[in-house]
Amino acid sequence: MADANEETRAHLALGRMLYGGMVAHLIGGAVRLGLPDALGEGEATAAELARALDARADTLERLLRALAAVDLVAEPGRGRYALTPAGRLLRTGHPGSMAAIARFYTDALLLDSWRGLPQSVRDGSVAFERAHGETFFEHLDGRPEEAEMFHGAMADGTRGTARVLPGAYDFAPFSTVVDVGGGDGTLVAAVLAAHPRLRGVLFDAPGGAGRAPAVLERAGVADRCSVVSGDFFRSVPAGDVLLLKSIIHDWDDERAGAILSRCREAVSDGGRVLLVEPMLPDGPGADGPPVPFLSDLNMMVNTGGRERTRADFEALCSRAGFTLASVRILAPPSGYALLEAAPA
C-alpha cells in the first residue's frame, strides 16, 4: 500500500499532467495575441504591452504572471517582463521559432479529434473522419487558412532537423535528392546549401509547396532545385536519394507501404530512401520520453496513421522491396530517427 508521501507526490504529478492542456492553451493564446513578438528582445510593463496589443492591462498582467510561472517570461524588474530563452522561441522571426506549432497544436482542428479518442480506441476508427466526414488532408484541401496553419507548423517542426541532417548523412556519393512531401522546402534547402554539387527536387501536393520557391530562393539554392507537384500514391520523381520526413507516420501500414513502393520504383538501384520519423522503442513498456507515444495517439485520432518501432519499419520496408540498412537518432534539436533504406 502506498504511504501518504507517495500518494501526495502522485497527486501532485497527476495534477501537473491534467493542467498540461491549460499550459498549451496559455502558450497558444499568447502567440495569437502577438505577445512574444511585442516583447521581442526587450522588456515592458503590462500597460505598455496592452497599448501595443489592444488589450486590457489588468487581464494581460494575469496572462504574464501565468507565463512567468511556466518560465516563458521573466520579471527582471518589478512589473517589467521579458522573454526567457524558451519564450523567445515563440517569436515568429526567431530562427528556431515554434510559434506556428503553438497555434496548430492548440487549434480546434486537432483538439476536436482528441475528444474522440475513446471511440478510436474501441473500434479503430479515425476521430477526425467521424467529426468531419472526410480525411484530414481532404479537409485541408478545401480550407486554405487551415492548410496554411498546418504547413507553417510543419515548417517550424522541420527546422531542427534541417540544422543537423546535412552533416549527419553522407550525401557525397549522390547527385540528386528528392524531398517527397517536402512542404515549403526547408529541409531540402538545407541539404542543398550544405552540399553544393547536389541537385534537388521538391515534390508535394499542389497545395503543399506554395511557399517553396521563396524558401529555396532565400537559401540560395533555387537554381539547383525544381518544384514538382503530384501524388505520392501514384508516382514519385526519380532520384538517387529520396527523403521523406514525417510522411510515413501519417498513414496506416497499407498506405505507408504504397508510398514506399512508389519510392522503390523511383530510386536508382544504388540509391537510398531516407526516412526521418519519430520512432517508438522496441519491446514492452514505455521507456523514454513521452513525445513519440503522444504523437502516436495524435496520428490515431487525426490521420489514421501511427508511430512505429524499428521492427515495424523493417517489416514495412521489406514489403516494399527495401532493406533497412541503418538507423540512427539525429542530434537535438531534432531527435528524430534517421532510417536508411536500401533497395533489396
**Number of neighbouring beta carbons within 10 Å of residue 82:** 17
- Under a CB-based contact definition with an 8 Å cutoff, are residues 242 and 256 in contact? no
Beta strand 199-204 pairing with 176-180: parallel
Q: C-alpha 309: how far from its chain's center?
A: 18
Q: How far apart are CA 102 and CA 104, in angstroms?
A: 6
Query: Please, which residues have CB within 8 angstroms of residue 168's CB and are 6 or more apart in sequence?
Result: 328, 330, 331, 338
Query: Which grid coordinates are listed for 289?
Result: 520520453
Kindly state the helix (H) or strand (E) to which residue 276 belongs, with its residue range.
Answer: strand 267-277
Give 327's DSSP letter.
E
| Residue whose grid cell is 491549460 | 22
Give the whole-angstrom CA distance, residue 85 versus residue 269. Answer: 46
Neighbours of 287 (CB within 10 A): 9
Location of C-alpha cell 531534432:
334
Provide the β-strand partners of residue 308: 279
User: 139, 151, 195, 249: which one is catalytic?
Assistant: 249
Cα(70)–Cα(86) distance, integer angstroms: 10
136 CB burial (10 A radius; 0-12, 13-18, 19+): buried
Residue of 342, 286, 332, 281 lying closest to 311 (CA atoms): 281
Give the span between the Cα atoms of 91 and 97, in whole angstroms.
Answer: 6
**3-state class (DSSP) for residue 217:** helix
What nine digits make up the cell of 3?
Answer: 504511504
249 an active-site residue? yes
- Rounded to whole angstroms, the Cα distance separating 152 from 158 reads 10
Catalytic residues: 249
